[in-house]
Amino acid sequence: MNAHCTHLPAFVDGELPREHHEGFRAHLASCEACGVRFHDLLQADILGRLAIAKAAPASDAPAASPVPWPVPSEPAEVLVPPPRAAPRRWRPHWSHLGTLALALAAVGTWAARVSRDAPTPWPSPETSRPLEARLTSGALDEHRPYAPMRGGASPTARLPLRELARMEEQQDWRGIASAYLLSGDARQALSYLGNAPASPDVDSDRAVALALGHPGTSEQTLLDKALAVLEDVLRKRPDHPQALWNLALVLRNLELPLLAADAFDAVAKLGEPGWSVEARDHARELRERTQARGRAWRQAFAATQDLMADPTARLPLEEATQWPGIVRLAFYDALRAAPSKDAALRLLPLAEALDRAYGGGTVLHATVTRVAARDFQKRGPLARDYARFVRGGSPFPAAYLAALRRSGEDDLYVGALGYELKEGRPVDVAAFARAADRLGDPWFHLIAERERAQQEVRDGQWWKAEARVLEALRTCEAERLDYRCADLHQWMTDMYLGELHRPAEAHEHALRGWRLAKNHGEWQQERTFLQELGQVARFHHVVPTASAYLRESLARMPDDSVQSGYVHRNLATLAWMDFRVDEARQHMEQALESSLPPGLNGAGVLADLARFGPMPGAADVMSRTLSGLRQAQPRPGKRALLDAIQGEFELERDPTAGRALLRSALTQAEQWPDDVNARRARARASAALISDAGRTGAFVEALTLAGRQLQVMEVPERCVLAVSVQHERTLAVARGPSGAVRGDVHPDTHGATRTGCLWTGAALGAGGAARM
């Protein structure tokens, strides 16, 4: 606090000497603490005056006073900035409302202009609207062009406290909230909306307040919350116009333009005057801009595809400047496939263009000259075979790989093994990494480090892998190899999610990779990171946002059956997390139409859905999926999880086989208590066995299994209660004072998403409960 801060009370009361006004106003514009206190003092003063005016006898009131209290003139010029928020990744256009202004003179003068015969909290309609979002109050939802406030301009709507007091008497909480939203005070708006009875209109306005947010809250968190509220509204009212419009804004500010365009299209179909035209314009602009970026990338990619096969193909020199990542990939393949010295030297201009794109080095120029100096009597046949195998998409024969390894043609050997790694086929990682390092190209050194890290993860040494790839990222950034940096960020995201279950770190890397891909126009990588962000959101249990990322990725390649299968099986997982069984089943049926196996999570959802009846083809898909996962030689914890999933699935088809698998999984998992997948296996197997025991009336066995799950050495002989929840099934088992055991199974159609037991010792009383 400085000397200016002490002048605030006098300034508000109109008692600060005039010669200090200019200096204090300058201070007020930059002091966060004074801005907050100024708002609070004004509110307190106004509400106090209203209370006094309301309590005073009518005969004591002035006969003709335009305002209910004296108004000092100087503070009328002051605009109060809101508290400074933490820097955001991106600011939504709809939050540019200007500063929050509550100057007494402005409020008083406005109140004097309001007609006493038709009091209203809203000023006369302007030619434009300051808020891009839509509010549900009728007078505020008349369409006007959106005109965002610029710089420090004051907001269009002021807060008339007398009218707010009248609305408070009438309990018009939504109206008060709207007034605060127009003034930019989302916190107050949320407070008043909390008093209003639940309805789609209230929730739509609440989403606006959530998206406008609070200082210090991340943009991502605000939009996540707003999206969840809006999706809930639209499940109840799919044609709710304000919610559809606000959904489009939230999706746009999450940078999901194709989904946002779909939402704007839904608004346009409602045919509302003004709103439909604006919505149609927004949809067209978002879709055209996004699809243009996709077309440009695909054209650049297509320009690289003939380099390896056609010796007269145009060199993509212009594309190398804008999309150096995919052009560099194609350059390496074309150089490997060059059957002669002249064919290699032909690529020299492309190498130089790429060197310029990456900061002006000579790495690729040197690569061309090195390859051109090789003995093509020996290299030529190997290069032609390389091109033939790559174009055919078939695995490289073992004999060919062995010949490459002996030949000393390290670039061909690394290229061939790179294709094998990409297809998930077994490779001598150590030999690959040594050959990659011998090339002297940081591009391949980074790939080698990634594969070494992958091997360390397989060996259970994740901490070494983490340190290795973080160091590789520092090298990558120094070399400006953004395409490879994005690849490493993707690897880190997958490792943090799949191995360590650390979604916060995963989100950081997914977001950085997405930014790199977007900044460099790498359409394919950008779509991949949309899926990564969807997985991160799933781990955070932010289901609407996870679904949105996945659906946006599918919208970019709607005709790709592999991508469709991937997205739908993940959407099935998300629907199951919210226990929307029919929706999960529909997505899983669509996923099964793809040739892509559903993976570990998809297999888990198949096992859960098996309790609701058989699904055509599910048994075959489950068998192939688990067989493929086991062939990858997973660690013991994951093997236990695979047995638990298979046991759950079989329990509905062959109870004896299912129980055997579940018991085996439980025994395996208990041997690896620190393994994340083993803990998941233990939870799934225990819940399924306890539920199965309850359904068959084996309550003593259920009690014993519950004790095993809770790692209780000995189940009490009397006065004990166990409760186990497995999604839609709840089992309660009690052993009374006499030692008799009784149980009850309750199928809950709403379900739960966690499994656990609750024990209560009667002698301990209510306070002695222990929860697991």
Identify the pLDDT of residue 118: 36
Instruction: Confirm if 588 and 572 have CB atoms less than 8 A apart.
Output: yes
DSSP reduced 3-state for 734: strand
In angstroms, the CA 73 to CA 86 distance is: 34
Question: Partners of 745 in the beta sheet?
Answer: 731
Longest Cα separation, the chain: 113
| No. of helices (H) and no. of strands (E), the chain | 35, 5
Among 50, 34, 38, which Cα is nearest to 12's?
Answer: 38
DSSP H/E element including 770: strand 770-771
DSSP reduced 3-state for 86: coil
DSSP reduced 3-state for 741: strand
What number of other Cβ atoms are within 10 A of residue 170's Cβ?
9
- Location of structure tokens 């916060």: 504
Identify the pLDDT of residue 107: 29
Identify the pLDDT of residue 35: 63
Identify the pLDDT of residue 169: 86
Judging by DSSP bridges, how do beta strands 741-747 and 758-759 pair with one another?
unpaired
Instruction: Confirm if 37 and 45 have CB atoms less than 8 A apart.
Output: no
Distances (CA, A) of 741 to 687, 705, 755, 757: 19, 14, 22, 16
- pLDDT per 10-residue tile (average), the chain, 772 residues: 68 65 64 66 56 45 30 31 36 34 29 35 64 88 81 50 81 89 88 92 95 79 95 96 97 96 97 96 97 94 89 92 95 95 96 93 95 96 94 91 94 95 89 95 96 92 95 94 96 93 94 95 95 95 96 93 91 92 93 85 92 90 92 89 96 94 95 89 93 91 89 85 85 89 75 38 26 28
Complete DSSP assignment for 502-557: -HHHHHHHHHHHHHHHHHTT-HHHHHHHHHHHHHHHHHTT-HHHHHHHHHHHHHHS
- Location of structure tokens 């009248």: 166
Computed on alpha carbons and rounded to an integer, the radius of gyration of the chain in Å comes to 33
What value, to the nearest 5°, has the Cα angle with vertex 542 and ends 688 and 549? 115
Query: How many CA atoms does the CB half-sphere of 708 hold within 13 Å?
Result: 18
Query: How many CA atoms does the CB half-sphere of 424 hold within 13 Å?
Result: 5
Instruction: Confirm if 451 and 432 have CB atoms less than 8 A apart.
Output: yes
> For residues 41, 47, 49 and 54, what is the CA-based torsion angle, rounded to 10 degrees?
-170
Instruction: Confirm if 489 and 513 have CB atoms less than 8 A apart.
Output: yes
In angstroms, the CA 655 to CA 250 distance is: 47
DSSP reduced 3-state for 730: strand
DSSP H/E element including 723: strand 720-726
Question: Partners of 730 in the beta sheet?
Answer: 725, 746
Alpha helices in 557-615, H assignment, sequence order: 561-577, 581-592, 599-609
Identify the pLDDT of residue 30: 65
Alpha helices in 56-185, H assignment, sequence order: 104-113, 161-169, 173-182
In angstroms, the CA 329 to CA 326 distance is: 5
pTM > 0.85: no
- Location of structure tokens 């088809």: 653
Q: Looking at this protein, which amino acid is placed at residue 716?
A: P
For residue 246, give both structure tokens: 């606000």
Identify the pLDDT of residue 29: 58
Q: Which residues of 421-448 are buried (b: 16+ CB within 10 A; e: fewer)?
A: beeeeebebeebbebbbbbebbbbbbbb
User: What does the DSSP 8-state code read for residue 758?
Assistant: E
For residue 411, give both structure tokens: 């670039």
Q: Which residues contact 236 (CB under 8 A, 6 or more apart)?
A: 200
